[in-house]
């Protein structure tokens, strides 16, 4: 994963509250940060005032990437579970067993020592 930031000049009509001044480049405007994977696909992006430090952009991008990674892992687990379920259903269908779940059994109500109301 590659993370980089770039300062961009803001147009004249942009409010000062959403911009800043990059002290290193002496550029008034905004700073954008991108996280790119090894294939060149964008994994995350953030925009902030140019006065923000690169660490702030890196932290925001890291949080986005962690969320993306967790979501992908969860999706992969669901797909694996679905594939396993389909394999089991296919095997049961070959043997002639009905793959539908059995109806749930209801339990009788628990007995109590209280008199009926």
List, for residues 94-113, the tens digit of each pLDDT value: 777 665 666 666 666 667 66
What the block records as the tokens of 7 is 């300062």
Single pTM value for the model: 0.56
Q: Where are the domains of the chain?
A: 2-9+20-95
What the block records as the tokens of 54 is 């690169």
* Residue 33 CB burial class (10 angstroms; 0-12, 13-18, ≥19): buried
List, for residues 24-65, the tens digit of each pLDDT value: 767 777 888 899 888 988 888 998 887 788 888 889 999 998
Residue 65 near residue 44 (C-beta atoms within 8 A):
yes
């Amino acid at each position: 994963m590659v993370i980089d930031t770039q300062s961009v000049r803001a147009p004249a009509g942009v409010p000062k509250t959403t911009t800043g001044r990059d002290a290193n480049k002496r550029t008034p405007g905004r700073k954008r940060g991108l996280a790119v994977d090894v294939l060149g696909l964008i994994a995350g992006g953030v925009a902030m005032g140019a006065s923000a430090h690169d660490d702030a952009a890196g932290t925001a991008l890291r949080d986005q990437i962690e969320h993306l990674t967790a979501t992908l892992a969860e999706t992969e687990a669901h797909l694996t579970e679905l594939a396993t379920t389909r394999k089991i259903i296919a095997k049961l269908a070959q043997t002639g067993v009905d793959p539908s779940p059995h109806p749930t059994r209801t339990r009788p109500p628990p007995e109590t020592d209280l008199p009926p109301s």
